[in-house]
Structures are given as C-alpha cells and as structure tokens.
Structure 1
Amino acid sequence: MLTAALMAFHAAVPNSAGHVGSLLEAFLPWCGLVIVVLLALALLRRSVTALVALLLPMAVWAHLFGRLLLPGTEPGPHDLVVVQHNVSDENTDPVGTARTLAAAEPDLIALEELVPPALAEYARTLAPKYPHHVVQGTVGLWSKHPLTGTRPVDIKPRGITEPWSRGLRTTVHTQRGAIAVYVAHLPSVRVRASGLASSWRDESAGLLGKAVAAEQLKTVLLLGDLNGTVDDRGLAPLTSRMNTAERGFAFSFPAAFPMARIDQVMARSATVRQIRTLSSTGSDHLPVTARITLT
C-alpha cells in the first residue's frame, strides 16, 4: 500500500527539506523493483492476500510507465530524427563519438560540454554530413538544414559568478517550415546526506521555461542535458509546456549503469514518438535519439 501511495501521490511528497520529492521522482520507475521483491516474498509465503494486494501497486506502475514499454510504431511518417548527447569535457575520443552519433543518421545533433580542442574535432568530423552548425559557450547544434537567428539563452543561476554559457536558441529551416530549437545544459544536482541539492538546476529550468514560453515560433524542440527526469517536479517549468517521449525509457546516466534519463528531447506543437539510447561513447552519458513528428 505504501509503495502504491508513493507512486500515485509522489507530487504530494514535500520538497521543502532536502528536495526529497524530487529525489523520489528521479528514480520513480525503479519502484517497480520494490514490487518484484514483494512479489517474491508473497510467493515464498504462499499468501493469496499479499498477491491480491500487489495488484494495486502493479496497476499504479502500469498506469505511470506502462505506455513507455509498448512497442514503438513502425518506422514511417516522421519529420525529424534528432540526437542529444552530453559528450563530456573529459572525452578522449571526440572523433569516435562524432562518428557514433552521425551513424544514427539524424537531422539534428545537439551536444553539451563542448571544450577546445575537442570542439574542433567534432566540427571537422561532422562537417561532411552536417554543413550547418552553431555553438554558444559549451553547447552546440549540428544540422542538415540551414540555421538562422542563433542567440544565447541566459539560463545562468544567480549564485554562479564565473563565466557560464549553457543555452542557445536557433531557427532550423526544415522542409516542413521553420522551427525553433533550444539546446541547454542545466546545472548538475548532487545527492547528499541532507537530500538532493538541486536549487541551481531548478532556477535554471525556470529561466529556460520562460524563454520557451516567450518563443514566437509555434513549433519548438528542446534538446539537452537537463539533469533531471521528466517526472522530477524541478523540470515542471518545461514539462508543463512541452511534450515528452511517448515510448521508451532510454536511461542515459551514468553510462556504466544507466539509472535515469536526464538527457531529454521535448517538443511543443510536435510529437516525440520514441526515444532510445545509442551505443556508448567516451562520455559518462549515453546518447539518446528520438523521432519527431511535426504537426
């Protein structure tokens, strides 16, 4: 009953002390493991009552996440394929990373943690298939389609005093018309004894949400390392305004044992059909790719 209540009413868990609510929501799908353990105990005790009681948390989990497990639609009508990847500023193989991303044949590739001299390697490797690219600070976008109107997006929290540029906005001119694309890298969060330290991330998400709300183009894509899952209330300024993936968990972090998808693809006036991970690169994140249908 407690497991079912935590999943069903996770938004009611207070966030005032240690961001406990956000911490629960970051790993909410893993409540399914608790159900598996309870199922094993019920079978061990041969308790019909326990098995019947387990139907409640199973139903709640299926309601929240069951659609993500459904088979994706057959490859067919879609307008864009995108890739999102935090390439890591410690990546020792930028060329191999760029080739892995390009092998998925996306229309757009969004990258974070771009630092010299690796940035030049990404640009040179991706140039043959992606002649259009823009970079602002440590984030960038490579595109098969022309780009115009690029500008930085200020998502810097007030507590950060050093130079810090992690957001951009550009217009992508597709065959279906112009769309606004945002690439962002929100501040990291830390799990401490006192709870989840996410204040900077939450403040940055609020600034990014305001920028998306003010966007004049109808169709908007957001690609980025948002350091939060779509269930985390800290990203509510974005998830309340944009669609998230209809299919796929695509846990992207950490690459060695992915436990959460913090690399996101969101859309306004468009549908994110399915999201999945790509092969590991020299980063501590896995790349994710998604199919987008424009409306």
Structure 2
Amino acid sequence: MTTDLRICTWNIHKGFSQFNRRMVIHELRDRLRYLSSDLVFLQEVQGQHHGHALRHADWPIEPQYEFLADEMWPATAYGRNAVYDHGHHGNAILSRHPISQTDNHDMSAHRFEQRGLLHCVIEPVPGRRVHALCVHLGLTARGRAQQYAMLAEHVNSTIPAAEALIVAGDFNDWHNRAEGQWADALGLQEAHSLFHGRPARSYPAAFPLLRLDRIYVRGLDVGEVKLHAGRPWSRISDHAALTARLSLTAS
C-alpha cells in the first residue's frame, strides 16, 4: 500500500510582500489553501509583533502559524528562533496528520543571526513515522557549513536510518554546496534535482535567479515537484513556493 504525501515549503517573509510594501497574510492563507498540501514547512513566520498589530487593523489576533492553519491543518508546531523586544519569529510546520513529537533546536552559527531547526514527527500511515525538519540557514557560507554539520549530527543521532525523513526550507545556498557538505553523506536526495538536475531557482519570486529553497528526502519516492513563481505568488512573498508529491510505501 502506497500513501501520497503532498508537501510545501515557503519562506513567507513574515506575512509581508517584497520590500514590506503590503501586509499579505490573508492572501497568503488563500494561496496555501489553494495548494492544499498535507504538510507545510514555513520560514520567517511571525509568532508575535506588537507594532504590526497596532498598525494594521486586520492583523491576525492569533500567531501567524495558527491563523494560516485555521481548520485545514489541525496539527501545528512553531519554533521561536529570533526574539526581540516587540516580538519573535521562526519556523513552523502545519500538518493534516497528527504531530506526535516536536522539538526546536538552536542552530545559530553566530550571535548576529538566530536560526533554528524545527523537528516534528508525523504518522501518515499507522505504524510508520515520518520525520519533518524545517530549516532556515544563515547568510554566510561559513555559517552554513557549521549548520550543515549540526544538521548531520542531529539526523545521525536522533533519526533511525529506516524511518522516512524530509528536510525542507530556505537553505540560502545559492552556490549549491549542500550535497557535497551534507546531503550525500546522509543519503538524502533533493526533490527538484531528481527531475531537473539542480535545485529550483526560487528567489526572487518575480524573476527567480537564486536556488535557495529545497526539499530533501530519504525513504520516500518523489513523484512530482513544482515551483510556484511569478504572479500571484510574487505579490505575496519574495520567495517562490516549492511543492512536491512524495510516496510512502507501508511496510
């Protein structure tokens, strides 16, 4: 028996359009509903911001991840990474399947960038666990090299090799060094690369040039990968959304 698992990863730019011109959290929710993924990996999710709530009359009362999930994704997890006087932001995972375990790990390479690894465990098929890791890596190559080492250590020490694994998010890796530094050693495959030879150009969303956003998998088959760029996606975030259809074979 094979179970399909539709996933999406998207850096949502804290609910604002490129250059912070417009607050677009309501449009963003509509776009996520349109994609109708089973599992959603989000980066730059605003957990709280007192200033935005005062300036925008329709700013959601609840944290962004709860507002976006609403009744479509009953299970949610949020990893608070960057904390400041007026609020905080981080990564989030929305799931149609129950989340049985949630952990958030500090992956900051230096004190100027607060980064985290959100690790959730879901069970889309009875008795089969899928590990979902949502990441947003740093802006410097040296910092990312340290974070790849942290990722490898986390996967090797906490995730059994026989259990399915998805690592998705914004890798900020425009030089495409992830495979050599990390993915190959762990037996991970990048979903878009399986069909097109390289990760997708996902930034900026209006005219994508840089290959920043990725979906890595192990223990799952990749049936389809799509990049959602241009209008209307580029009106919502500076990153394009990336989706994939994965298949999990029940043992």
The TM-score, its normalising length taken from structure 2, stands at: 0.75
Q: 1:240 to 1:280 in 2, by over 3 A?
A: farther
From 200, 203, 209, give the equivalent of 2:146: 203
From 187, 207, 216, give the equivalent of 2:138: 187
In 2: Cα distance, 1:121 partner to 1:168 partner: 16
In 2: Cα distance, 1:108 partner to 1:82 partner: 5
Deviation at 1:229, TM superposition (A): 5.2
Contact 2:97–2:122 at 8 Å: present in 1 too? yes
Deviation at 1:250, TM superposition (A): 3.4
**Percent of matched pairs sharing the same residue:** 22
Q: Deviation string for 1:56-86 (max 9, x for gaps)?
A: xxxxxxxxxxxxxxxxxxxxx6520000001
Contact 1:247–1:273 at 8 Å: present in 2 too? no
Deviation at 1:168, TM superposition (A): 0.9
2:244 partner letter: A
Q: Which runs of 5+ in 2 are unaligned?
A: 17-22, 50-59, 81-89
In 2: Cα distance, 1:289 partner to 1:281 partner: 18
In 2: Cα distance, 1:86 partner to 1:151 partner: 20
1:103 partner letter: Y
Deviation at 1:175, TM superposition (A): 2.0
Determine the structure 2 residue equivalent to 1:166. 116
From 244, 247, 252, give the equivalent of 2:195: 247
Contact 1:252–1:258 at 8 Å: present in 2 too? yes
Does residue 134 of the first structure (1) align with residue 59 of the second (2)?
A: no
Q: Which runs of 5+ in 1 are unaligned?
A: 1-76, 190-197
Counterparts in 2 of 1:202-281, with a 5 A limit? 202-217=145-160, 218-228=163-173, 231-233=176-178, 236-241=181-186, 242-245=188-191, 246-248=194-196, 250-278=200-228, 279-281=233-235
The higher radius of gyration belongs to 1
Deviation at 1:102, TM superposition (A): 2.1
In 2: Cα distance, 1:104 partner to 1:183 partner: 18
- Report the more deviating stretch, 145-154 or 226-235: 226-235
1:205 partner letter: Y
Q: Which runs of 4+ in 1 moved over 6 A?
A: none
Contact 1:201–1:234 at 8 Å: present in 2 too? no
Determine the structure 1 residue equivalent to 2:244. 290
- Find the residue that maps to 1:240 and give its secondary structure: helix
The TM-score, its normalising length taken from structure 1, stands at: 0.64
Deviation at 1:239, TM superposition (A): 4.0
- Find the residue that maps to 2:149 and give its secondary structure: helix
Does residue 124 of the first structure (1) align with residue 67 of the second (2)?
A: yes
- Report the more deviating stretch, 160-169 or 254-263: 160-169
Determine the structure 2 residue equivalent to 1:100. 31
Q: Deviation string for 1:144-200 (max 9, x for gaps)?
A: 00002211123221xx226824211111111252111111110024xxxxxxxx111
In 2: Cα distance, 1:106 partner to 1:166 partner: 23
1:214 partner letter: S
Contact 1:84–1:288 at 8 Å: present in 2 too? yes
In 2: Cα distance, 1:239 partner to 1:273 partner: 20
Structure 1 or 2: more strand by fraction: 2
In 1: Cα distance, 2:13 partner to 2:175 partner: 22
In 1: Cα distance, 2:184 partner to 2:210 partner: 16
- Find the residue that maps to 2:208 and give its secondary structure: coil
In 2: Cα distance, 1:230 partner to 1:240 partner: 18
2:105 partner letter: V
